[in-house]
Structure 1
Amino acid sequence: MALRLLPPLRASIAASRIASSASRTSNLSRPFFTLPGSSPTTQSLTATRKLPYAPAPLYDLIADVDSYVQFVPYCSRSRVTRWSDPDAAGRRWPTLADLHVGWGGFDEVFTSRLRCVPGVSVEAVSGSTQPGGGGPDASAVFRSLVTRWSVKELAGLPSPSTEVHLAIDFQFTNPLYAAVSAAVSDKVAGLMIEAFEKQARQKLGSRRKL
């Protein structure tokens, strides 16, 4: 893993800019961060949007990991390095990818194991999801990092309508990292799903708002 810690002044300015640009989030939640000296705990962020598109094209956008660099906040590069065997429909899905991410003063390369459930969810896992975290692909900043996108068709609303849900679970290797990134981390899920909505409008066309 490559880690570059930005100078304190630049990190502070970056966090301030991100916080000021994130006034519009959706169903966002965050827990209290661990205090210095305590054991790192898993923290969770979530965001949800209802979008006026069918689930299938939205899922295809989520599964197109190579395109994340075009719209995902803090992602400077994304590259799928391994694909699944063709499924019954002859389609291959990403199973491993490298993501270059800068977040709250950190700049790092993550190797993520991808789990695709076609038409339902895409999960990216770095490190270990077992108690204590760690693992061959754990980073210097995160003991574990799990990002899960899911789509669900909405009944009772004008068709087509889909709920897009984003959940991020992460555990820092050191509680001090939580304090450094506190001004940024609680905005991440909302900014990511807002960026995804803009990508959907660009790729799938503008529709009515739900």
Structure 2
Amino acid sequence: MSLQTILPRRLPSRPSLLAIAASAATAPRRSFFNLPGGDGSGSSDSNAQHLTATRTLPYASAPLYDLIADVDSYHRFVPYCARSRVTHWSPPDAHGRRWPAQADLHVGWGGFTEVFTSRLRCVPGVSVEALSRDDESASSSSSVFKSLVTRWSLNPVASHQPSTEVHLSITYQFTSPIYAAVSAAVSDKVAGVMIEAFEKQAQERLASTRKL
């Protein structure tokens, strides 16, 4: 409010395992990033899974933060995101700027499509966090995730300007062990794919601003 020199690979056209598992339930709206990865069964927070990825990019932190906070553009580079839209904005800050406070993402994988909703917390220049919990949704019984927190954070590298360390953290629990089981083979790759996609977006958008 997940980075790449290689485009993320597209999924095969045949239905994915996650799509097959999802056919057992309807899931009209949920959290922010619908990407594979999961925990086992159970409702305890101790079952939550945690993924991270980090890149150091040759750009100042301010323009990188603007890219991360530009949620309306996520469909241009976030893997499997077909549409992205900010639905609520924060009040103006001291500089008169509004930041995204809630967003919907339309995510498709194989034959499986959902609209995911999340509350956003923006700390300008520092981090963008997307949060969602199963018990906050009116359709909680049909959701994919019990909880999902995605956090992007930036840390300028003082020894090599302009340069910024970009860190992505994803913490999540599935509502069903079925989702966890069918996604286990790819869960560890999710954060890396997302941060690589962001790296490519940064290269395309910010290359002309880089100081040589």
- Determine if the TM-score, normalized by the shorter chain, exceeds 0.5: yes
Q: Deviations over 1:144-194 (max 9, x none)?
A: 11110011101222x101000000011100111111112222211000000
**C-alpha separation in 2, matches of 1:109 and 1:32:** 19
Partner of 2:7: none
Q: Tell me how large the CA RMSD over aligned residues is.
A: 2.7
Deviation >3 Å, runs of 4+:
102-106
Match of 1:144 among 147, 153, 159: 147
User: Residues 147 and 103 (structure 1 numbering): CA distance in 2 closer, same or farther, change over 3 Å?
Assistant: farther
Q: Deviations over 1:111-167 (max 9, x none)?
A: 11000000000001111xxxxx5322756110111110011101222x101000000
Partner of 1:27: none
Q: Deviations over 1:62-97 (max 9, x none)?
A: 000000000001111100000111111010000010
Partner of 1:163: 165
Aligned residues: 177
Q: TM-score, normalised by structure 1?
A: 0.76
Amino acid at match of 2:206: L
Gaps of 5+ in 1: 1-8, 15-30, 128-132
SS in structure 2 of the partner of residue 108 of structure 1: strand
Asked whether the equivalents of residues 120 and 128 of structure 2 are also in contact (C-alpha less than 8 Å), the reply is: yes
Greater RCO (Cα-Cα under 8 Å, separation 6 or more): 2
Partner of 1:68: 74
Partner of 1:179: 181
**C-alpha separation in 2, matches of 1:98 and 1:32:** 21
SS in structure 1 of the partner of residue 83 of structure 2: strand
Gaps of 5+ in 2: 1-13, 20-36
Asked whether the equivalents of residues 104 and 181 of structure 1 are also in contact (C-alpha less than 8 Å), the reply is: no
Partner of 1:130: none
Asked whether the equivalents of residues 38 and 179 of structure 2 are also in contact (C-alpha less than 8 Å), the reply is: no
**C-alpha separation in 2, matches of 1:154 and 1:192:** 21
User: Residues 105 and 44 (structure 1 numbering): CA distance in 2 closer, same or farther, change over 3 Å?
Assistant: farther
1:187-198 aligned at under 5 Å gives the runs 187-198=189-200
Amino acid at match of 1:161: S
